[in-house]
Amino acid sequence: MSETTNQAFAEHVIALTLNGQPRQLNVQPWSTLLDVLREQLDLVGTKKGCDHGQCGACTVLRDGKRVNACLTLAVMCGGAELTTIEGLADGDTLHPMQQAFIKHDAFQCGYCTPGQICSAVGLANEGRAQTADQIKELMSGNLCRCGAYTNILAAVEEALPQSAAKASAVSEGGIDA
């Protein structure tokens, strides 16, 4: 490896789809997706809470699945379809999950909210939560230190069927991404 280690650390070029738009990005191997979103692309809706995968504030959707952007290397996102909180609404029409969070006042300070909403959309895509107890268990990767859990649960419970229907319409190609 001596030849390689003598070289400067290479920047890598990755191509991905971000909130429906094809993008080409130059990234350092050690940059996390979270830092690239916030620092390089100015998409600051995705929050940095713990930066260790413990709080869920950085949750984004990768190919429809919820992941922690803080524990994802940007260089490993080539070919991915990423959706952040900025990409959920359809123009001025909020995603049903966003609408439900407003309706139920499902936040206080709002810092965890983008991660909560992306996580709840991922939950809908998974189709595994039917009861309130299952929603609570499957939303446990998102902490809210204000303790808005009761209203978060109410919002997710209400929007889950509509979000799930939207997800299956997208996967069947019925809605333009």
Contact residues: another protein, CB under 8 A: 1, 4-5, 7, 9-10, 12, 28-30, 32, 51-53, 56, 59, 62, 65-68, 71-73, 75-76, 119, 122-123, 126, 128, 136-142
CB of 173 to another protein, least distance (A): 22
If the CB atoms of residues 68 and 84 are measured against another protein, the closer one turns out to be 68
CB of 78 to another protein, least distance (A): 8
CB of 34 to another protein, least distance (A): 11
How many residues does the structure list for the chain? 177
Pairing verdict, β 65-68 and 59-62: antiparallel
Beta carbons of 139 and 119 less than 8 angstroms apart:
yes
Residues paired with residue 12 on neighbouring β-strands, in sequence order = 27
CA dist 72 and 78 (Å) reads 12
CB of 159 to another protein, least distance (A): 17
Range 27-62 burial, b when 16+ CB lie within 10 A, else e: beeebbbbbbbbeebebebbbbbebeeebbbbbbbb
If the CB atoms of residues 138 and 170 are measured against another protein, the closer one turns out to be 138
If the CB atoms of residues 114 and 122 are measured against another protein, the closer one turns out to be 122
CB of 29 to another protein, least distance (A): 4
Task: Sort 133 into a burial class: Cβ within 10 Å, 0-12 / 13-18 / 19+.
Answer: exposed
Q: Closest Cα partner for 100 from 83, 82, 123?
A: 123
If the CB atoms of residues 6 and 93 are measured against another protein, the closer one turns out to be 6
If the CB atoms of residues 19 and 142 are measured against another protein, the closer one turns out to be 142
